[in-house]
Amino acid sequence: MWQTVLDRVLRGFITRGTLRITYPDGTARTYGDATQPEAHVTLHDPALMARLVRNPEMAFGEGYMNGTLTVDEGGLERAMRIAIRCAASGSLPLLQQIQDWAGYLLRPILQRNSVRSARRNVAHHYDLSDDFYRLMLDPDMQYSCAYFQQPWMTLEQAQAAKKVHIARKLCLEPGMRVLDIGCGWGGLALTLARDHGVQVTGLTLSQNQHRTATARVQQAGLTDRVDIRLMDYRQMQDQFDRIVSVGMLEHVGAPQLRTYFDRVAALLKPDGVALIHSIGRNGPPTGQSPWLNKYIFPGGYVPSLEEIVKPVARTGLWFLDVESLRVHYALTLRAWRDRFESNLDQVRAMYDDRFIRMWRFYLTACILVFEERDQTVFQLQLGHRRDAAPLTRDYLYQPGQDMRDAAE
């Protein structure tokens, strides 16, 4: 029965590309319009067919992780691209549409992210072994979208360029106090303190990141300039000349967007500048991926620009500048996945094959939503005063100061 139902669903859903399915009984069927891309998926467990009908995104991800669904050599990206393109074309099955809408409506419950649950959610992802992340990231351990000023840049150069770009938007002066909300392993905080002579307070909820960042500060001899705290941004009460937050807003959750920007406004001095770097949607608000929420980023949410504008507007902060880094994260993720795949022997020494398939699925899915859907990265420059930053963008692109120099 479920094979017949799944066959009917796929005939209505797969309208672009070519997807060949081999069912558990050995039957093979082809779906789509006979164009590229082309992929071959084999289902090994009869029970998986019912799950694919009821919740296709979750079932596909879990089936791949568990090995009850396999894809031809190198075909995972092609198979996922077919599915994502078909979903974007409007052929999503009705049941999936209902589930997506329900997930959107339930955001106030699913993403409430109290201080306690936020710590737990962060630990789920960021308290994996630092050695694992070192296999994938650049030496500075920048785990956010790089800035490919030139398409030929290495990951290291692009991450250095990202920090230069952010520093310029912050309009730093020596001696300023800077708050880094979601400081990760401390790379940006160290760069700002060392290269710009500012005092940085970094906040993280990850035990691993706090421990590593603190050690890096000590090793760099910057304990007098950088203070890394294991603290939720909602608990900070001081005021700062500058605020920077890179890759943090995605973990706030839709119900906390107002709280987040209220705190940014309260913590920023009257003549200060804030730079918020976050994944965002170029389209309307929607629910979070249930697979990503369960296995990768519990409590996470990628807001639309529409959802960001409203809470910022009510604080009275000015949008001094809004920049969309469109394909930069796809390039970054491809570099991470390449390093992940080239270091599989070392990854396998730390984690099992199910973990490896989970991370391969995660990285591939993220690449494709930046290439095929409406996801981008926004850099929001905010201030209480309309003239808190220069009136044109000329200061960001100064002649003779190519950002690639920062990596050399």
CA distances in angstroms from 313 to 262, 274, 296, 306, 326, listed in the order given = 10, 14, 31, 11, 24
Distance, in Å, from the CA atom of 69 to the CA atom of 24, rounded to the nearest integer, reads 10
Catalytic residue at 366? yes
Q: Where are the alpha helices (DSSP H) in 42-93?
A: 46-54, 56-66, 76-88
CA distances in angstroms from 39 to 6, 12, 34, listed in the order given = 17, 17, 11
Which residue among 86, 171, 183, 366 is the active-site one? 366
Query: What's the one-letter identity of residue 12?
Result: G
**Residue 112 contacts by C-beta under 8 Å, 6 or more apart in sequence?**
253, 255, 256
Query: What's the one-letter identity of residue 280?
Result: G
Residue 253, classified by CB atoms within 10 Å of its CB into exposed (0-12), middle (13-18) or buried (19+), is buried
Distance, in Å, from the CA atom of 87 to the CA atom of 229, rounded to the nearest integer, reads 42
Collapsed DSSP state (helix, strand, coil) of residue 127: coil
Residues carrying an active site annotation: 366
